[in-house]
Amino acid sequence: MKASAQTRRLVITIDGPAGAGKSTTARALATQLGYIYLDTGALYRAVAWKANTAGVDCSDTIAMKNLLQHMDLHVTLEDTTTRTLVDSQDVTPYLRTPEVTRIASTVAAMPEVREWLLPIQQRFGQTGGIVVEGRDMGTRVFPNADVKFFLQADLNTRTARRYQESRQAGHEDNQQQIRDQIQARDARDQSRNIAPLIPATDAVMIDSSSRSVEEVVATMLESISARL
């Protein structure tokens, strides 16, 4: 499988809601294929971090446009790690803080931000050999991707996963808070006017609720093999 995938360098997209397991699965799949991995959510979080640090109100369209005009965003892909630099500062360690998480979906819903980030994301797919995960990768960013997946899981499973991640990161959110945050994020993602969270018409649907990462990756590899 690995040799075949390397012969033809594919663009593989994984979309889905918060807590479906996109990041973990995408990293594991990229490792299996010998591909690079791009966490596009980190790009939106980087904009959210910049706005939060600069004290910019994310609902202020004019202020956000000005922030983007003066923001230098640089991403380096190292194996399965996406390192994000804002104005030459590596902000990767700060992108999962509660403050950034709280405003990231608001930032991601802004048409101005999505338009600004679109060409940055698309450049990474020019040479293939990449696994990208997000919410509109297969529908808008890479509509001609070689293989598309839409990963989903039930709300209880997604809440439990995010709660565990929060605990491991040393945060003190309780499960109900996390459940409410996920439901609110789902509503924003699915109702935004530009690039709402929906499966691509040609995406392979996978429910990860009762599957391990290894099982999900195995299913993905079967689909990829069939298209080589």
Within-domain flag for 227: no
Q: Residue 33: left (phi > 0), alpha (psi -120 to 50), or beta?
A: alpha
Within-domain flag for 7: no
170 is in an annotated binding site: no
Per-residue pLDDT, 3 = 40
CATH code of the domain in which 19 resides: 3.40.50.300
Within-domain flag for 226: no
145 is in an annotated binding site: no
Q: Residue 34: left (phi > 0), alpha (psi -120 to 50), or beta?
A: left
Within-domain flag for 65: yes
Within-domain flag for 1: no
- Give the domain extent around 146: 13-221
Question: Tokens for 194?
Answer: 């530009």
Q: What is the pLDDT along the chain (228 residues), one digit of tens a residue?
A: 444 444 678 999 999 998 899 999 999 999 999 999 998 989 999 999 999 999 999 889 999 999 999 999 998 877 667 789 999 999 999 998 888 988 888 898 899 999 999 999 999 888 899 999 999 999 999 999 999 999 999 999 999 998 888 888 777 778 898 899 899 888 888 888 788 889 999 999 999 999 999 999 999 999 999 877
46 is in an annotated binding site: no
21 is in an annotated binding site: yes
Helices (H) and strands (E) counted in the chain, each on its own, are: 9, 8
23 is in an annotated binding site: yes
Within-domain flag for 8: no
Contact 62, 173 (CB under 8 A): no
Work out how many domains the chain is built from and give that number: 1
16 is in an annotated binding site: yes
128 is in an annotated binding site: no
19 is in an annotated binding site: yes
Q: What is the distance between the alpha carbons of residues 182 and 188, in angstroms, rounded to a whole number?
A: 10
